[in-house]
Amino acid sequence: MNMKTQFKLAVVLMTVTASLAFTVSEPKKPVAQTKGKWISLFDGKSLKGWHGYNKTGPVKNWEIEDGALVCLGAAKNAAGGDIVSNKKFANFELKWEWKVDKGSNSGVMYHVLEGAKYHSPYQTGPEYQIIDDIGFPEKLEDWQKAGADYAMTVPNDQKVLKPIGEWNTSRIIFNHGHVEHWLNGKKIVEFEAWSADWNKKRTEGKWKDYPDYGKAKTGQIALQDHGDKAYYKHIMIKEL
């Protein structure tokens, strides 16, 4: 091999080496991910990300007051005034702060489905009960009290509810059927969705006439207008 050929070969090797080095060191474009990260469902200023259940028009029975999402209590029954998140969620950790006026009733639901066959979120979505345990004008069963998995699982003795006018902190964890309700830093409810015990409660209790209750594995978050004033803020969710 003469000198001229050796020189050409060296140039080729240098070019290939440099090209490989550039390919290896070139940064990869990051992939957007939301799982494992807290995202806000309420910006403190608007109803962006929410809409009326089974509706497309403007929401008139919820307003923003001092950075809180407030139910004005316009609905006279448990249907008609609820709002739901635009986005659907499957496995998640949801946390928020809430308070109610004296005697008020509301709730937070998940895995809610919309459609012509449903008139209200509670027909499909399990509910974290929000209510004034002390001042509610009717006698409440334990399964109706604040923090309960409404009409399914009652809170334990770790429950501590703040007085009317003070903010409570709540949390729902739903992880492949394992469910926890937290209230003011204490775990007060724990159960396994779709288990034999859960299904027995569903088919023999309040939901026996609602065949789709609790069956969906993904759906929207709902805030209930039960005809009373209720306040929500710092609504955050993390997909699991």
Q: What's the burial of 187, exposed, middle or buried (CB within 10 Å: 0-12/13-18/19+)?
A: middle
Q: In a structure prediction context, what are the per-residue pLDDT tens digits for the chain, which is 240 residues long?
A: 554 444 444 444 444 344 434 333 334 444 445 578 999 999 999 999 999 999 999 998 999 999 999 999 877 654 569 999 999 999 999 999 999 999 999 999 999 999 999 999 999 999 999 999 999 999 999 999 999 999 999 999 999 999 999 999 999 999 999 999 999 999 999 999 999 999 999 999 999 999 999 999 999 999 999 999 999 999 999 999
Question: Domain 29-239, what architecture?
Answer: Sandwich (2.60)
Domain borders along the chain are 29-239
**Residue 21: per-residue pLDDT:** 41
